[in-house]
Structure 1
Amino acid sequence: MADELSSRGDYDYLIVGAGFAGSVLAERLAAGLGKRVLLIDRRPHIGGNAYDQLDDHGILVHRYGPHIFHTNAPRIVEYLSRFTAWRPYEHRVLAEVDGQRVPIPINRTTLNRLYGLELDEQQAGAFLAARAEPVAKIRTSEDVVVSQIGRELYEKFFRGYTRKQWGLDPAQLDRSVTARVPTRTDDDDRYFTDSFQQMPLHGYTRMFERMLDHPNIEVRLSTDLRQLDQQVRYRQMVYTGPIDEYFGHCYGPLPYRSLRFRHETLDREQLQPVAVVNYPDEQVPWTRITEYKHLTGQRHAKTSVTYEYPCAEGEPYYPIPRPENAALYKRYQELADAIPRVTFLGRLGTYRYYNMDQVVGQALALYQRIEAAEPAPRRAAGSGRAARTRRRPSCPGK
């Protein structure tokens, strides 16, 4: 596949990044429009952060922490189902609080266990309402939680975990961070309530392999855009890496949180009753422990787990949602809008936290716009050299 494409010379599209955004778009352009696509990634594997692999003991693990697929969008399920069968899985999470493991999001079971009560659903609602503290204007993540469940439960479940995860107090973060986690008065202990909750039957990497198995797609791994062969020519670029990196951080780096992972295999069949246990206590250095066999359904005499340690330095994982960061991104977006032959896509390219299904949806939406613009006059072969595009536009006043 790669040799055939290389011998033909030019590409219609260079796509930087082989995660969900880049891979979905590459497949659509190749299979839907017959475009010749060069897909590169500086990591030695496809799949981005969703990459999974068999560890040294033969247990399927997620290299970059747990990726749980869930969506309410049938068109996204229909698209991904071309490349994978599915395994039903509903995600459940426990939080270790006051020496107990209780469901998170907070529900009636959580309250009854923590406080030794026997509340029914109506009483649970009244219990939370009595503790909620009025907030005149909800601006921050702290405001969201305190206004719904009060300060005591906020301190037990959210403040420490958020400070570890983001390196900031919830009072310093946009309200969107904690608004993602609901509070329930019934016994529903599912982390998500989406209509579709399943995992790729044979893993994410196998799904990506099938997605990219097309004669019009060439994949080059361990390849950085800056080191790409100067003779590679293409007409359009789609960039899914960090937008600030593309422009040489000329306005300064966009803030991200990173993660450090400690992977262990234990000589026991199971460690914990659910896939993920959260640790809100700031005295515990990790935020959560993931046990993968719950996600995959794999049977094995041993079990593999991952401890997660959020950190400030390293691979960018989570854009930090604060108004000043959004303002800085907007400056980079204005530079990006001035480049007609480069499109920025994905979580890093648009500096926004997306779930996996949202990234797929964003890539499919971009493809639909490209498809709607066809047929368009084709530029002369080689009108855009990678070398020329890699000369980053400078920031005004720099």
Structure 2
Amino acid sequence: MFDFLVVGCGFAGITASRILAEKGHKVLIADKRNHIGGNIYDYYNEDGILIHKYGPHIFHTNKEEVWKFLSRFTIWREYQHKVLSYVNGILVPMPINLNTINMLYNTNYDSISINDFFNTVKVNVEEFNNSKDVIVSQVGEELYKLFFEGYTKKQWDMYPYELGKEVTSRVPTRHNRDPRYFTDKYQGMPKHGYTKMVENILEHKNIKVMLNTEYKEIKEEVKYSKIIFTGCIDEFFEEKYGKLPYRSLNFIEETFDKEYYQPVGVVNYPNDYDYTRITEYKYLTGQKNDKTTIMKEISSATGEPYYPIPKPENKKLYSLYKKEAEDAKDVYFLGRLGTYSYMNMDAVVLQALELCENL
């Protein structure tokens, strides 16, 4: 009946489905959740504020082919993301830039003299063995403790010296006053929300969608030729080598009877409180409303799998599943969960586009 069974209705699944459908293939998408869009799903809460159910998703990319593909299905709202970090009782720009240093140390460096500051504080590391080595080699011990140590511990339940060096292969520090979190060529938010964009991507005669549907429930009931699997790769192989570990998130949503709660879309809390950051969605969406909704994020060891944990033993375990995947006939794995790798949204879309071209 179907040429492809696509498991998962997130960015990887919908991108692959649309391209295959346009090439004439009949596609069935199955997702265990009760909504389309995976983790980019957004909706209006009871106060009429558009929020992202699974935390903030700000789109940015340098890949023109990714931007062009998605631009077929949405108008973009121009938005360049800004983040502040709460350290030493004040809010300072993140990534660390010229203003960050001057505010923290009550100094008056310019874009040239700031080089002297970083050259003075950075640690000479002969061999990079972990993430801490990478960070202190660029910003020194004090800034490492202020911005990175506590945040990493909350996010991963591990300190940077317990994580591989590739996790922070490059610490973005700026010698100017550029306050933008991303510097990609293409940046924006879907004007009418991610869910509307997903609806447009799925609007094709060759695409059918089944929600509230576990892959195992239908794999013997539906006729199909090939599978594109975007769920956890270890689950596909029934965890035969053991379970791959992930970090999850708990979200606390609060609405206030005021126009704004904080000065920017996201504020990081690397040292204070249990949560890692607070997002205020009206900055991201550009909505006008007398009320405002914020979302606090608390990292967790249990719950929905969001972040593959970057440790050598986990990579080794994944390699066993990757070998199984390479040997599997007519089965293709995509996305964060399918390839056990931390990828931004644009990388997921690109991976799906490239897979379809290869197919």
CA distance in 2, matches of 1:294, 1:181: 25
Aligned to 1:98: 88
CA distance in 2, matches of 1:241, 1:229: 14
CA distance in 2, matches of 1:280, 1:292: 20
1:1-398 alignment to 2 at 5 Å?
Answer: 10-31=1-22, 33-179=23-169, 181-228=171-218, 230-281=220-271, 283-370=272-359
Helix, strand or coil at the partner of 1:273 = coil
CA distance in 2, matches of 1:315, 1:304: 23
Normalised TM-score (structure 2): 0.98
Normalised TM-score (structure 1): 0.89
Q: Percent identity?
A: 52
Aligned to 1:396: none
Task: Label 1:116 to 1:96 Cα distance change in 2 as closer, same or farther (>3 A).
Answer: same
Displacement of 1:180: 5.0
Report Cα offsets for 1:92-120 as digits up to 9, x if no partner: 00000000000011011000000111111
Which of these two proteins has the greater Rg computed from alpha carbons?
1
Structure 1 stretches of at least 4 aligned residues deviating more than 4 Å after TM superposition: none
Displacement of 1:141: 1.0
Which amino acid in structure 2 is aligned with residue 286 of structure 1? Y
CA distance in 2, matches of 1:176, 1:63: 29
Q: Give the stretch that moved more between structures: 337-346 or 164-173.
A: 337-346
Task: Label 1:229 to 1:140 Cα distance change in 2 as closer, same or farther (>3 A).
Answer: closer
Which amino acid in structure 2 is aligned with residue 136 of structure 1? E
RMSD: 0.9
Q: Give the stretch that moved more between structures: 161-170 or 226-235.
A: 226-235
CA distance in 2, matches of 1:291, 1:175: 31
Which amino acid in structure 2 is aligned with residue 244 of structure 1? D
Displacement of 1:176: 2.6
Displacement of 1:178: 2.5
Gapped regions of structure 2 (runs ≥ 5): none
Displacement of 1:136: 1.0
Displacement of 1:229: 6.8
Q: Give the stretch that moved more between structures: 41-50 or 228-237.
A: 228-237
Q: Is the 8 A contact 2:26 2:206 kept in 1?
A: yes
CA distance in 1, matches of 2:185, 2:18: 26
CA distance in 2, matches of 1:271, 1:23: 34
Q: Is the 8 A contact 2:41 2:54 kept in 1?
A: yes
CA distance in 2, matches of 1:59, 1:104: 26
Which amino acid in structure 1 is aligned with residue 344 of structure 2? N
Displacement of 1:258: 0.5
Helix, strand or coil at the partner of 1:215 = coil
Task: Label 1:66 to 1:183 Cα distance change in 2 as closer, same or farther (>3 A).
Answer: same
CA distance in 2, matches of 1:181, 1:147: 10
Q: How many residues align?
A: 359
CA distance in 2, matches of 1:215, 1:91: 36
Task: Label 1:181 to 1:198 Cα distance change in 2 as closer, same or farther (>3 A).
Answer: farther
